[in-house]
Amino acid sequence: MKGKFKQSAKFLSILVIAISMLLSACTNNGDKPTANEGNTNASNEETKAPQEFRFTLGSNPPSLDPALMTDAQSSIVAAGLYEGLTRLNTKGEPENAIAQDITVSEDGKTYTIKLRNDVKWSNGDSVTAHDFEYAWKRALNPETASEYAYMLYYLENGEKYNNGEATADEVGVKAKDDYTLEVKLYAPAPYFTSLIAHYTYLPVHQATVEAAPDWASEAKSIVSNGPFILTSWAHGDKLVLEKNPNYFNKDAISFDKVTISIVVDNNTVYQMFETDKIDWIGAQAGSLPADLTQQLIKDGKAEVTPVASLYYYLFNNEKPPFNNVKVRKAFAMAIDRQSLVDNVAQANQQPAYGMVPPSISVPGGQDFREAYPDNYFTDNVEEAKKLLAEGLAEEGLSELPEITLLYNTDDNHKKLAEAIVDMWRKALGVEVKLANQEWGTFLETRKAGQFDIARSGWGADINHPINFTYDLIHSKSGNNDGRYNNPKVDELLNNSLVAETSDKSIQMMAEAERIAIEEDMAALPLFYYTTVTMLKDGFTGVVSDYAGHLDWVHGSKQ
Amino acid sequence: MLRFISGKFLFMLLSMFLLITATFFLMNAIPGSPLQGEKATSEAVQKNLEAYYGLDKPLIVQYGKYLENLLHGDLGISMKMKFRSVDKMIAESFGPSLRLGITALITSVVVGCILGILAAMHHRKLLDNLAMTIAVIGLAIPSIVLAPTMQYFLGTKLGWFNVAGLDGPLDYVLPTIALASGPIAFIARLLRSTMIEVLGSDFIKTAKSKGLSGYVIVVKHAFRNSMLPVVTYLGYLTAGIITGSVVVENIFAIPGIGKHFVTSIIDRDYPLIMGITIFYAAILMLTRFLADVAYVLVDPRMRSGGKVGK
């Protein structure tokens, strides 16, 4: 026994030595920052290049091929890699990029775009009008199977070509010469200059694309034309972009290096910010942990920016009881939106009484909501009770049938749904059941119209109210999952596309929105999203754009 | 021995075939489509996409095509990560998971065995209690709690480690602890109970009476005889630990393979679901197979072909 003890004592002491060695190794490592604390700027020690910007994305970009991109993450990276005809500034207004001069024909259907002649691809080739013609036709080519091809349906015969009913030659885009692009539209689109800033309209390098279909999935095979070049892409881990020395407007670019880490966990993103590994959180480039958000806003450490996205519930307009407008209105008015934002959503979101978010502007730069405020209804429990009773009577119902609120599985959606169901219970005395489904299943159920009330959210592709009117309340829109159908609204929206002036067009869209909400309560708007962002001191020009996507390209560090 | 191995091998092939078939049809039975995003796409685009990925054909034809490609070693391309081949995605993300997994595996076995042996040798004494307390804590605290706690205190507060990434050797420490804490506890408890039994058996008493020291007895006799259940457990553990953990990977931002198991299903990325399932099954079967072989090597009774209950 004694021998055994000796042995184990010896063993233990070895273990202790090993552990202490490990610990001392760690302490040595820990010494570095401690020693540096004496210096004035210890935090600068790690960033060797002064003009470096670092942030995270929640997922690996699925593609950096402009024709195939569909998500915010890819678009944040692509904004640095590619240059289009126009680029949106921080206010969301289009500014000429490769386009030098854009002229529109009388009927608003033909655009003649003069291109700069000093723009180069990263392999040295010139960027010409032919590249744009090729890229747009490629995105529409049925064989490319681009999910965002519909963004190009504005082009004459664009939709037909995508459907296989027209040839590529019939599509309304043509390079007149190397630096002149002629675009023919199917109908006038006053926001066309914003539209061509969208990533589906970015040019691609023909020889590169034709050489390998997977050209856009590795850093070394990407040929781009933007302010930055992708120097490395470790999938699921890190993307590194460096300033493009041949970019035509390189003086406007300050960052030398941009490092993008793929980090899923919100808490990890925050810890990385705290330990000075990243410079930015928010706007689709990492988000703050929900339990810290409110405190950080209160302490002035985080900033809240409105986002052109709407959080709303869909009513199934075809199924009782929500085929009745009074019942729809009752449910919409029985919610205390401010309380919902303050106590549940908790990121200073703005209560929504319309469909178009406040950060959407109209051509000319004015906010849409300034001209057309969303005072279409109010939170009013008494009125709601009355309307519910009347609505049920109209339908010949003595009591409400069983109603289920369907949402996609997620903690935040769940909290909101529970709070809303509670508000309905208190205000209207109705019992609404909750059901949740995993995302893919949920989308299928919702598309099939198998719900009473379903959660929904909608963001903008371009800075224009059409995103929230035509897309959501037109009876022909594929995104109108509540199957709202009012011919008056359809007519207004159709006419808005061919209106003589942009003002008239906007006015018609606003009127369509008013009818859909004030008169019909087609859906149940809840709030307009915000994004909560944090930025390290010393950076300027890094912002969340109108849509709530990080815009970092023109940032700099002092 | 050869018969034993070839028998096992054939059984593996059959299991693999059944698994592929079951996964393929179950996966297609889940509602939702890989090609349906939140935004509605026109019917034409939807049709183009379906044609592109061959989803417009009857399921049985798709199945046949998949098997045919698989025989040629082609796992297809991801539907989510455009034009990325599934085998490349698996190969790239398996590297970090494998490196981290092996580190965690070695740590689990070494620390687990040390704790187990110490506990067994000092049965019902202070060291036993101490080792088992550590083991219970390791088993009770899930990595989803342990990992962020370590990340916060050792990473953010004390600044000893990076909070995320897998760039330097030190970056392995926290994820390794998070991955190994459970297995350490399991191995320690497993080894302790077997060893207490073995230490009480006749041949140990004989060895003691021959005058061998406690250390020699434990290392040369008791340990080897107590290893059998641990070796069996290692078969399962290895497959699990080297194919990553979605929790640990997410928390420490490790570009590993674990996340594919979850995201491929969420995305309905059919080729990736198939690829990742086949890959995991192959590793699981292989490690089980190796564990079986190791079992034979450790336990001479197995070599004579006699059946011993596992």
ipTM of the assembly? 0.87
Q: Which of residues 79-118 of A touch B (CB under 8 A)?
A: none
Return the DSSP state at A116. P
Q: What is the CATH number of domain A305-531?
A: 3.10.105.10
In this structure, what DSSP letter does residue A159 have?
H
Site of tokens 């001191």: A537
Give me the mean pLDDT over the B287-301 stretch: 77
Residues B285, A301 contacting (CB under 8 angstroms) = no
**Distance between CA atoms of residues A310 and A525, nearest Å:** 7
Protein fold of B96-267: MetI-like fold (1.10.3720)
Binning chain A into helix, strand and coil, the percentages to the nearest 5 are 40, 20, 40
Distance from CA of A234 to the nearest CA of B (A): 9
Q: Report which of residues A16 and A474 the model is more confident about.
A: A474
Q: CA-to-CA distance for B183 and B197, rounded, in angstroms?
A: 21
pTM, whole model, 2 decimals? Answer: 0.86
Which of A365, A317, A299 lies closest to A485, judged by CA? A317
| Alpha-carbon span A439 to A452, nearest angstrom | 17
**Residue A555 or B291, more confident:** A555
Distance CA B155, CA A270 (A): 12
Coil, helix or strand at residue A261: strand
Can you tell me the mean pLDDT for B237-241?
A: 88
- Residues A209-224 pLDDT 10s: 999 988 999 999 999 9
Count A/B contacts: CB-CB distance under 8 Å.
183
pLDDT at B1 over 80: no
- The larger pLDDT score, comparing residue B235 to residue B95, is at B95
Chain A interface, best mutation among B36, B48, B78, by max A CB count within 10 A: B48
The more confident residue out of B157 and B215 is: B157
Q: Does B28 touch chain A (CB under 8 A)?
A: no
Give me the amino acid identity at A478. Answer: G
pLDDT at B309: 42
pLDDT above 90 as % of chain B: 48
B255 vs A63, A236, A478: nearest CB: A236
Question: Are the Cβ atoms of A271 and B80 closer than 8 angstroms?
Answer: no
Å between A163 CA and nearest CA of chain B: 5
The minimum CA-CA distance between B39 and chain A, rounded to whole Å, is: 6
pLDDT at position A146 over 80: yes
Predicted pLDDT at B303: 60
Q: What is the DSSP string of A444-502?
A: HHHHTT--SEEEEEEE-SSSSGGGTTHHHH-TT-TT-TT----HHHHHHHHHHHT-SSH
Mean pLDDT of A332-360: 95
Using the Cβ of B165 and the Cβ atoms of chain A, whether some distance falls under 8 Å is answered with yes
| Cα separation, A276 vs A441, whole angstroms | 40
Whole-angstrom Cα distance, residue A416 to residue A457?
A: 13
The answer to whether A448 faces chain B, any CB pair under 8 Å, is no
Q: Is the pLDDT of residue A299 over 80?
A: yes
- Per-residue pLDDT at B304: 56
Contact call for A277 and B162, based on CB within 8 A: yes
Question: CA–CA separation, A451 vs A314, rounded Å?
Answer: 9
Q: Do A261 and B122 touch (CB under 8 A)?
A: no
- How many angstroms separate the CA atoms of B97 and B46, rounded? 36
User: What is the location of CATH 3.90.76.10 in chain A?
Assistant: 9-38+48-249+536-557
CB contacts of B155 in chain A (<8 Å) are: 271, 275
Which of B33, B45, B110 is the best mutation test for A, with the most CBs of A within 10 A? B45
Q: Which residues of B42-72 are buried (b: 16+ CB within 10 A; e: fewer)?
A: bebbbbbbbeebebeeeeeebbeebeeeeee
Burial B144-177 (b: 16+ CB within 10 A, else e): eebbbebbbebbbeebbbbbbbbeeeebbbbbbb
Contact: A236, B92; criterion CB under 8 Å: yes
Query: Across the interface, which of B114, B159, B215 has its CB nearest the CB of A7?
Result: B215
**Domains of chain B: which residue ranges?**
96-267
- Tell me if chain B has a CB within 8 Å of the CB of A251: no
The phi-psi region of residue A395 (left if phi > 0; otherwise alpha if psi is between -120 and 50; otherwise beta) is: alpha
pLDDT band (50, 70, 90) for residue B302:
low
Are the C-beta atoms of residues A147 and A162 closer than 8 Å to each other? no
Q: What is the CATH T-level fold of the domain A9-38+48-249+536-557, as seen in this structure? A: Dipeptide-binding Protein; domain 1 (3.90.76)
Cβ-defined contact of A478 to B82 (cutoff 8 Å): no
Q: Decide if A214 and B83 are in contact by the 8 Å CB cutoff.
A: yes
The stretch B26-37 carries a mean pLDDT of: 86
The CA radius of gyration of chain A, in Å to the nearest whole number, is 27
Give A1→chain B minimum CA distance, Å: 7
* DSSP count for chain B of H helices, then E strands: 14, 0
Nearest residue in chain B measured CA to CA from A1: B214
Please tell me if residue B150 touches chain A, with a CB cutoff of 8 Å.
no
Q: Which residue of B has its CA nearest to A151?
A: B41
Chain B closest CA to A312's CA: distance in Å? 14
